[in-house]
Chains A and B, each alone.
Chain A
Amino acid sequence: MSDQTLPPVEPDPSPGAAVTPAAADVVSTPAAEAAEAASGTVAKPSQGRPAGQPPAAPPPGRFQLALKEILSGSWVTSVLAVLLAMVVGAVLVAAANPDVQSSASYLFARPSDFFGAVWESVKDAYVAMFQGAVVNFQGQDAVAFIKPITNTLTQATPLIFAGLGLAVGFRAGLFNIGAQGQIILGAIPCAWLGYALHLPPVVHLLVCVLGAMAGGALWGFIPGILKARTGANEVIVTIMLNSVAAFGVSYLLTLDAFQREGSNNPQTPLIDSTAQFPYIFGGRFTTHFGFILALLAAVFTWWLLDRSTLGFRFRALGENPQAARTAGINTNACFIWVMVIAGGLAGLAGAAQVQGTFHYLNSGVAASFGFDAITVALLGRSRPLGTVLAGLLFGGLKAAAPMVQSAAGSSDVVLVLQSVIVLLIAAPPLIRAVFRTPNPERVQALKLAAAAGPGEVAA
C-alpha cells in the first residue's frame, strides 16, 4: 500500500498538499461529514472498543487496489489504448487477407504487391468500419448516408446504461460483474408490464421503465446485502447471479404466460405500442428515446458521484474503505446503495432493449452488453462523460460489424479491437494483482529510497 496515494487512516483536519485531488476529498471533510464522523465514532463505544478507536475495517484487497490503479490512469491512456488496438487490428486484418498471404510468398521479388495488398485490406476494413459506424458516404440518399450514426446511437444506448451502473460500483471500489444479469432482470418485468397491462400512452412507457429499474435494482440489491451482511465477495455473487438470470429467463420463456398465443417459441408477445420508446429521428432510423434517457442517466450519475453526499461516500469508500469507515461512513449501507443504483441503471439497459430495440423479450435480450459494459466503464475511467464516450465508441464498433463483415469477410476484427482495448487498459494492474508481482513504479520508488539512505538500510 503506497502512502502517497492513500490518505492517512485517522481523520486529518488539515489536508496534506501531496495527496491526489480525489483523495483530498476524503481527507478534507466538510463540516457535515466531520459531524457525521464524530457521531459515528461516538455512537459506538458500547461495542467494547475504547471511544475514539476506529472499528476495524478490512484492508482493501489487491483486486480493489488493481481496480483503483486502472481507474486512476489518465484519459490519454484510454485514447492510446484505442489507437494501439487499431494497429493490432490492422495487423490481424492484413494477416488474414488472402491477397496479402499470396503476395507475401513473393515478398522479395515484388514487395509492392505485398504492401499494396496490406494497404488495401486494412483500408477496406477501416473504411467499412467508418461507413458502418459514422456516415456511409456511398449511401444512395440522405437516409442511407446518416443511418450508420443513428445505428451507433442505438447500439450505444444499453452500453451507456450498463456502463454507468458499473462505473458507480467501480468508483466505490466494488467489482460488480453483474450487469448482464441486471439487464436481464430489468428486461423481464419491463416486457411483462408492456404486454400484460394495457395503459394509456406515456404512463405505460413510464411503468415499464420503472419496472426495469426495479428489476435491475433487485438484482443489484442481492449481492449488495450479501456483501454488507456476510462480506460475500461481490465478484463471485454477481457472476453467479448472471447465470441465475440467464437460465431464469430461458425457463420463464418456456411458460405459457411468457409465450405468444399459438406458439411455443421462447418469445413473449410484442409489447403494446404505448409502451414502446418513440423513435427520435422518425421510423426510418432505429435510434429511440432510450438514448436521451441514457444521457439523462449520465447526468444523474455525474450529479450523484460528484455533487451528492451519497456519491461522496461512495468515492470515499472506493478510495480507502478504512478511512471511510473511520470517518463514520456506514460502509455496509453504502455497499447496498451502490449495488442498488448500479442494478437500477443496468436494468434501464434492459428497458432500452425491450422498449426500444426488440419490443419483446427473448433469451438473448442482454446480448453481450453486460460484459462489454465492463470495458466501457473501464475505458471511460468510470467517469460519466468518459462512459458515454466509450459507450459511443463500442456502439459504433458494434454497429459497424455488418459492414466490416461484408467488406473483410469477417467481423472478428471488431471483437479483436474490443478485446485488445480491454487488455491494454486492464491487464497490467490485474496481472500484478493475480500474481502478486510488485508494481514496477513502487519498486523503483523503494530503490530510490534505499539509495537515498544506505546507512539506514545497513543499520
Chain B
Amino acid sequence: MKKKYAVVSLLAVAGLVLAACSDAPDESTDNGTTDAATETSGAATSEAASDFFACMVSDEGGFDDQSFNQSTYEGLQRAGVDLGIEVLALESHDSNDYAPNLEDMVAKGCDITITVGFNLSEGTKTAAEANPSLNYAIVDDSQISLPNVKPIVYATQEAAFLAGYVAAAYSTTGKVGTFGGAKIPTVTIFMDGFADGVARYNQDKGGNVELLGWDKATQNGLFTDDFTDQAKGKTTALNLIAQGADVIMPVAGPVGLGAAQAAQEDGNTVIIWVDADGYLTTEYGSIILTSVMKLMGEAVENVITDTKDGNFSPDPYVGNLANGGVAIAPFHDFTSQVSDETKAEVAALEAAIQSGELKVESDSAP
C-alpha cells in the first residue's frame, strides 16, 4: 500500500502543472477508504445497503440480445430497485468466460447467481456443487437437479400455439413462415407450438394454411445459424415472402429485426415477435401482429425475492399460460384487423390450455 501511495503522489506531482495543490489530500482519503473496503465498488456498497447480493452471468449474447439475457438482466435490475438490494451482472464474451465469471461471483459473495441458457449449464452445475451454501437459478435449462439450483423454464409452445392460430387466421395468402436462429430446443419450441397452432386452425376451420420454415414431424426447418447478423434475417425473410408467406415469426433475437425490416419494405407482410412484446421493444410496432412473450424478468425477480425471504426452492419454475409465465401480446395496431371471431377462438383455446384440457406438445418442452 505504501508503494501505491508513492505512485499516487508521483502522479499527483506530474499533474501539478494542471491540477491545483489540493490534489494530494483528496486522493489519499479516497485511496484509504477504498483500500479498507474491497477495491471493487460493487461489493463495497453492497455491504452498506443490504446483506443480500443478487448476481447474474449472461451467455455470449450479452445484455442487449433482445432475448433471455436482456430479460433476465432487466429482471435483476428491477429486483435491485424494488428490494433495495445490491446486484451485479457479468457479461460473457465467449464460452471460456463462463467458468471465470461464475468463480468471480462466488468470490464476490453472491447469495444467488442467475445464469442464462443451456450453455452455462455445466458451469453452473460445477459452481453449485462446489458452493452448496450459495443459491443458483438457471434460465431456460432444466438439466441440473441440485438442492441449490432452481431451473427457470418455459412452456413456450403454449403461447406459440396461440400465435400460430392467429397467424393462420390472419394470412390471406394461405402461407405463414418461421425461421430460427439456431436449431436448439429453446428456439424450436416456439416453432413447434407455432406449427401446432397453424394445424389447429386448419383442423377447426377446414383451412389449408401452409407453414414454411419448420416441419414439426421431422424437426427440420429454416435457420440462420446466427443470432446477430440482421442481414441474414432479412435475406431469410425475403425468401419466405417470395414463397408467399405473409406472416413471419423469426425466433432469432436481433436477427429478427432484419426480418421485420424486410416485412416493412414489403408492405403486405407482418411479423410475430418473440420473447418480449415487440410492439414496445422494437421500432417495428406498426407491422407486428402480436408477440409470443416469455416473461423472464418477472420470474427472475420472483426467484430473487423468494431467496431473499429465505424461501428458495430447487423446484423448477415452469412458466406457462396458466401462471402467466408465457403469453401472447395484445394486437395493438392490428386490433381492428383481427376478427372478433378469431379473438374469441383464441381466448377459448387459451382457456382450454390454461385448464389443461388442451395439451400442446413439443419435443423441446421442459
Contact = CB atoms under 8 A, between A and B. Distances in A.
Contact of B27 (A111, A114, A119, A365): A119
Interface residues of A, number: 54
Interface string A191-215: 0000000000000000000000000
A362 B348 CA distance: 42
A115 B100 contact: no
Q: How large is the interface on B (under 10, 10 to 19, 20 to 34, 35 or more residues)?
A: 35 or more
Given A111-B19, A364-B94, A264 B185 contact: yes
Contact of B99 (A144, A264, A286): A286
A406 B108 contact: yes
A364 B95 contact: yes
A138 B90 contact: no
Contacts of B91: 405, 410-411
Interface stretch (A320-328, A329-337, A353-361, A448-456): A353-361
A36 interface: no
Contacts of A358: 95, 122
B40 A406 contact: yes
A112 B363 contact: no
Interface string A387-416: 000000000001101110111001100010
Contact of B184 (A265, A369, A398): A265
Nearest to A407: B40
A100 to B, nearest CB: 14
A250 B225 contact: yes
Interface string B327-352: 00000000000000000000000000
Interface in A94-131: 110-116, 119-120, 124, 127-128, 131
B143 A110 contact: no
A411 B364 CA distance: 34
B343 to A, nearest CB: 34
A254 interface: yes
B359 interface: no
B26 A362 contact: no
Contact of B104 (A247, A353, A363, A403): A403
B217 interface: no
A406 B88 contact: yes
Contacts of B103: 147, 151, 402
A367 interface: yes
A263 B97 CA distance: 24
Interface in B1-36: 8, 11, 15, 18-20, 22-23, 26-27, 30, 34
B90 A407 contact: no
A411 B18 CA distance: 30
A28 interface: no
Interface in A275-299: 286
B253 to A, nearest CB: 16
A233 interface: no
Interface in B29-49: 30, 34, 38-43
A184 B226 CA distance: 17
A136 to B, nearest CB: 8
A155 B185 contact: no
A364 B60 contact: yes
Contacts of B40: 124, 128, 403, 406-407
Given A110-B20, A362-B119, A406-B104, A115 B15 contact: yes
Contacts of A365: 95
Which of B11, B60, B97, B185 neighbours the largest number of chain A CB atoms within 10 Å of its CB?
Answer: B97
A254 B187 CA distance: 13
Contacts of A357: 96, 99
Interface string B279-307: 00000000000000000000000000000
Given A367-B94, A399-B100, A403-B104, A112 B184 contact: no
A342 B93 CA distance: 26
A390 B38 CA distance: 30
B39 A138 contact: yes
A5 interface: no
B30 A120 contact: yes
A402 B193 CA distance: 38
B100 A144 contact: no
A120 B29 CA distance: 12
Nearest to A398: B96
Contacts of A274: none
A155 B96 contact: yes
B171 interface: no
Interface string A141-182: 000100100010001000000000000000000000000000
A367 B100 CA distance: 14
A116 B97 contact: no
B20 A112 contact: yes
A132 B107 CA distance: 11
B99 A119 contact: no
Nearest to A401: B97
B291 to A, nearest CB: 25
Contacts of A136: 107
B143 A263 contact: yes
Given A116-B23, A120-B30, A128-B40, A266 B93 contact: no
A272 B15 CA distance: 59
A41 to B, nearest CB: 50
Nearest to B99: A286
A263 B184 CA distance: 10
A402 B97 contact: yes
24 contacts: A112-B26, A115-B19, A116-B26, A120-B27, A124-B34, A124-B40, A128-B39, A131-B39, A138-B39, A139-B107, A147-B103, A155-B100, A247-B225, A265-B141, A265-B184, A267-B118, A362-B95, A364-B95, A364-B119, A368-B94, A398-B96, A401-B93, A401-B100, A411-B91
Given A406-B90, A406-B104, 7 more contacts: A115-B18, A116-B26, A120-B34, A124-B34, A151-B103, A266-B182, A367-B94
**A-B complex: 4 closest residue pairs judged by Cβ atoms:** A364-B95, A367-B94, A402-B104, A367-B96
Interface of A: 110-116, 119-120, 124, 127-128, 131-132, 136, 138-139, 144, 147, 151, 155, 247, 250, 254, 263-267, 270, 286, 353, 357-360, 362-365, 367-369, 398-399, 401-403, 405-407, 410-411, 415
